[in-house]
Structure 1
C-alpha cells in the first residue's frame, strides 16, 4: 500500500459527439496544489445534456465549470458534503431561473437542464454526488462496482423518463455517499451513451490493459460503444488513486515535525522577538505568558504546550487547531489571533491580550446579577458561538473559564482546544472529543459516546445562563454519572425559581428547554434561545408558578405530614 504525505491521482478522459450534430456532454477535473489539495481535495465532474433541449449543452458546461470553480471557494472549515451540496443547490437555482426567464419556461424539458455526477477525493475518502443517469463505477481487485443509482422512471422496457436533473425543479435532491479509498482504486465516470453499449467484461479488460494510459483507456471505451451502435454523445472520465496521505499527515503534522516545543520562559526572556512580561497561567498542559510584540509594541498572549506533552501528538494537534480556527473566525466575541509575521523557531501561538477576567471569576464577584445583565452576557456569547456554527464548527467546551469579560463589558470566547471542525475531520480520523469538555457543562449525549451538534453547545450555554441566575447547576452533578439513556431520562430539572430572586416563571421554562437531556427537545438554533430569553413565549405567559412540590419538596412533604398528623389526632380524640 503506497502511503505518502500527499494525495496522488491520475486523470484520463475522452468525449465524442457520436452521431449527434453536437456534443451536449461536458466534463472537467481540478487537481489543486497544496495547501488546497489537503484542505479541499481533488474534484472531477461530468454533466450530460438531455436530447429534448437545444440549450442543454449550456447547462452542462455551466454546471461543471461552476462546480469546479465554486467548490474550491467554499470555507475550509466546511465538510466536503456541505460544500458541494451548497454549490449544487446554487447551480440548480441559477439553471432553473434561466429556464423560467427564457422561451422554454412552459416546457422545462427544453430548458437549461442536465444530469450531473461528481467525485471529490479528499484525504483517504471519495465523496460522490449524483443527479441523473450518468454513472460512477469503481474498479478494485478486477471487480467493477456501480456506485450510483440511475434516476430514471421506466414506463416500459423500451421507454423511460429522466426522474432527476439539475435545473428541472426549484428543489434539488442529491444522492450522496462516501467510500474509503485504497491505492490502485480506479473510478470511471460515464454517460449513458457509453455504459449502455459496453459489457462489464470489456470495461474491466480495457481498464486493466490500459491502466498506464488512462486517456487511451477512455478513448477505447468510447470507440467500442460507438461500434456497438451508441446513438448518443459519449464521455468517459477515469481517475486512478496513485497514493494516499498517511493518517494525520497534513498542515498540523508538518508543523509538529518542523518545530520544537519552547522551554519554560522567564520574565524578560525573548523568543522570536517577543519579550516575556510575566507568566499568566501554568498547568501540566500549557504555559500562558503576557508578552510584548516587538513590531507593534502591543501586549499579546503567547501560549505554548508543556514540554511534558511533547510526545502527546493528539494534544499537540488540538493545540495547533486553536490557532487554525482563530484565523478563520472574524468575530468581535471570539478570541483573535495574529498570523506570524516572521518565521517561528518553536511551537507556540500568539493571540490578542484581553484585559479583564474570566466569566468564572466574574460570577464570583457578581453572585446575584440582575436578569438584564445576564441576558447581555448570554447574547454576546451566542454571537460568538454562531460564528462557529456558521463555519460548521462546534466549540464543545463552553464553560465560564473559557469566556473572558474585558473591562468594557465585551465578552469573548477563548480556548478552542476541544473544537470540532467538519473540514478537518474529512482529512483525518475524528478525534475522541466525547470527553474533552468539562463535565459540569458538557451535554448529556457526550456521556453516551455520541457526537455533538449545535444543540450540544446550546446546552452548555443554557447551563452557564442557569448558573449565573442561581449559582447552581440544573441537574447538580448527576449528568456526568448518567451514562445510559435510561439514567438520563431519570434526570430531574431543578427549577431556577426561588424566593430570593425576582425571576419570571417563563424564564425557567426557557432554561428547562435549553438544558433538556434529550437534544431533540432543546432549541435547534441559538437565535431561538436568545430571543425567548428576552421575549416571553406566548404559550408560557399564562402558565402558573410551579407547584410547591417542585419548588420546595421538603416543605411540601412536611406540610402533608402535619395535615396527616392532625387528622390522626382528631380521629383518636373522637
Structure 2
C-alpha cells in the first residue's frame, strides 16, 4: 500500500475547517464497470442504508472534528462496502485539526484503492498503518509527540451482511437494535482527575498503532451512531437511548434527511447542555440486506449462455478453434485464433453444469481472479476488452510442457535445475497471496513451463479469495476443490486455512521433483482423518536422491509438517531455506560413521587387524 506523501495538507484541511458546520457526506458517483467485470463477479443483492451526519465547531473557535461517509454503487458496493468515519483532532496537538481531516479523507480514498480481493481487515489495517506513520512523521517537528498531528479515529465498514469496526481514541460507536443501545467501542483514555483525562491511543501519537477491530453481523433496521466526545461527554447513554427510541417511533419511514435531522438535533442538544467541545455525529440505518433466493442468483448468473462443445473450424465471436486441448466433464479448453492471427487459449464451461449456480459462479470468478493477478509467472487473462456473446474466457497461449511432463522426462532432476524452477513457482504463488487469494490446487498439471523456460501457474478454478468470501450468498460452495495428493491436511479436514496450505502443496511438488516420487510413500491421498495424517512417515529425500544435501531436506520436512504452525511462515521463507545452506548445529551429535563412513571402516579394519595380530602373537 503506497500513500501519496506529497499532498497539500493546508489546502486539504482548510476546506474542511473554515466553515462552522460540515454537511459534506461523501457519496460516490456511479462507478463505471465494463460488462466483462460485471460478468466476472456476480452481485448477490445489494446492501442499502440511510445515512446522515453533522459536524459543528460548537463553542470552539474552529472545528477540529472531521467526518465522512461513502456509499458506492455497483460492483464496489459489493466488494468494498460502505464506509463511515469520524475523527476528533486532539486539542493539545498543534496539528490536530489537520490530522483529523487527513485521516478521514485519506482513509476513505485509500481503502477504496486497495485490491477488491483483500478482506476488510487487511485493507483497513494496511491503510491505517501507513496513515498513522505518515501523521507521526508530520508531527516529528514537535518535541512532544502528543502535540503533533494526533487525532482519534473510529470507522465502520458495512460489507454484505457484516459490519467491521476500527477504533482508536475516545470517539464512540453505538448500535441501537430492538430497543437496546450497546456501546461497541471502548474509550482509550485515562482520567487524571474529575476534569482532566489523556488519550492512551490515537493516530499519529506513536509510530506503532494498536487499533480495536471487531466484526459482527448486521440486521435489518439496525441503527449505528458515531459521536465525538463533545456529544457523549454531556449527553448520557440513557438520553441517547431515549432519543433513538423516539426517533424510530416517529420516523417509521426513514430517509437520509431524517437521519441528518437526528444528528442536527443531537448536536443542538449537546450545545444546550454547555458542551465546550466540537460536536459531530453520524447516523446509519440498515435499510436492506443483500440476501437473495437461489433462483434470483441463478437468473443473474445465467444471463449469458453456455457455448456448446466445439470442434476445429468452429467459431465463437471473433475466434476460430484451431485445436482442442482438453475436454472433461467440467470444462473444455481450445486453442483459438482471431482475424489478426493472434492465438489464445479459450476455456468454456461444461454444459453438464448448466443448472448449477455454484459452478457458474466459480467459473466466472476464474476470469475475475485472472484479471487481478499480475505476475510473469501466472498465466494472463486477456479478454477484458471483449463484448462476449457466451460464457467463456481467454488466456495467453503458452507453448511448452506441463511440470508433470517435465518430471517424467527428468526423473530426480538436477538439484540446480529444480531450484531454478521452484524459485519461479514461488514468485507466482506469492502474487496470489499478495491479493489475499489462495490457489488451493497447486500440482504439476497446473504449472506450465514455456519453451523459453518461464514457469506459469495456470487454472484458477479452486482459488479462495478472502474479500469475496466475506460476501453473503445463498450458494453452497465447495470447500475442498484441490487434488488429494497435493492438498494440505487442514484443507482436507475442513479447518481454516491460510497461505501455509499452498506452502504445503508447493513443498509436495518440490519433494517430488527432487526425489522422483511423492512424499510420505505416496500415502497422502489416503488420509481422511487427523489420526491418518499423524501416522504419516516422512522419508528423507536424500535417501532416494543422494545429490540432495541434508540441510535442504530439513527445509522440505519442515514445510511438509502436518501441523500448519510448524511450517514456515510463507513460501518466501521456505524457498530461502531451500536455497541457503545452513550451519550444522554444533550441539547435535552426528555419529562418525555418518560423517565419514570410509575413514570409519578403515579405522575399524585397522583396529581388528591389530587385535588379530595380538591374539596370534600372544
TM-based fold match above 0.5: yes
State whether residues 4 and 244 of structure 1, in contact with CA within 8 Å, keep that contact through their aligned partners in structure 2: no
Worse-superposed segment, 9-18 or 268-277? 9-18
State whether residues 252 and 320 of structure 1, in contact with CA within 8 Å, keep that contact through their aligned partners in structure 2: no
Match of 1:288 in 2: 333
1:521 corresponds, among 566, 576, 581, to 566
1:395 corresponds, among 424, 439, 445, to 439
CA offset digits 1:296-344 (Å, max 9, x no partner) = 3111111111101112222221111111111111211101111243321
1:449 corresponds, among 461, 481, 494, to 494
1:138 corresponds, among 154, 159, 175, to 175
1:187 corresponds, among 207, 216, 224, to 224
CA offset digits 1:116-160 (Å, max 9, x no partner) = 101111122111111111111111222212111111123455543
CA distance in 2, matches of 1:224, 1:33: 34
Match of 1:91 in 2: 131
SS, match of residue 152 in structure 2: strand
2:449 aligned with 1:405, yes or no? yes
1:197-276 alignment, distance < 5 Å: 197-198=234-235, 199-208=239-248, 209-210=250-251, 211-212=254-255, 213-246=258-291, 256-276=301-321
CA distance in 1, matches of 2:399, 2:298: 33
**1:545 to partner: Cα distance:** 7.6
Match of 2:386 in 1: 342
State whether residues 120 and 127 of structure 1, in contact with CA within 8 Å, keep that contact through their aligned partners in structure 2: yes
SS, match of residue 537 in structure 2: coil
CA distance in 1, matches of 2:557, 2:94: 59
Residues 237, 407 of structure 1: alpha-carbon distance in 2 compared, 3 angstrom cutoff: same
1:19 corresponds, among 36, 59, 64, to 59
Worse-superposed segment, 402-411 or 163-172? 402-411
SS, match of residue 432 in structure 2: helix
Match of 1:124 in 2: 161
Match of 2:580 in 1: 535
Residues 253, 115 of structure 1: alpha-carbon distance in 2 compared, 3 angstrom cutoff: farther
The alignment's TM-score, normalised by the length of structure 1, stands at: 0.89
State whether residues 118 and 130 of structure 1, in contact with CA within 8 Å, keep that contact through their aligned partners in structure 2: yes
1:323 corresponds, among 342, 361, 367, to 367
SS, match of residue 308 in structure 2: coil
2:562 aligned with 1:512, yes or no? no
CA distance in 2, matches of 1:546, 1:179: 58
Match of 2:117 in 1: 77
2:540 corresponds, among 486, 495, 509, to 495
CA distance in 2, matches of 1:487, 1:500: 27
2:107 corresponds, among 62, 67, 78, to 67
Residues 174, 469 of structure 1: alpha-carbon distance in 2 compared, 3 angstrom cutoff: same
Match of 2:343 in 1: 299
1:302-313 alignment, distance < 5 Å: 302-313=346-357
Q: CA RMSD in A?
A: 2.5
Match of 1:384 in 2: 428
**1:106 to partner: Cα distance:** 1.7
**1:454 to partner: Cα distance:** 1.2
**1:219 to partner: Cα distance:** 0.8
User: What runs of 5+ residues in structure 1 fail to find an aligned partner?
Assistant: 550-574
1:177 corresponds, among 214, 219, 226, to 214
User: What runs of 5+ residues in structure 2 fail to find an aligned partner?
Assistant: 1-42, 595-618
**1:477 to partner: Cα distance:** 4.2
The alignment's TM-score, normalised by the length of structure 2, stands at: 0.83
State whether residues 13 and 236 of structure 1, in contact with CA within 8 Å, keep that contact through their aligned partners in structure 2: yes
CA distance in 2, matches of 1:7, 1:255: 17
CA offset digits 1:82-139 (Å, max 9, x no partner) = 1111111111111111110x2xx22222221110101111122111111111111111
Match of 2:407 in 1: 363
Residues 335, 254 of structure 1: alpha-carbon distance in 2 compared, 3 angstrom cutoff: farther
Match of 1:426 in 2: 470
2:39 aligned with 1:39, yes or no? no
SS, match of residue 442 in structure 1: coil
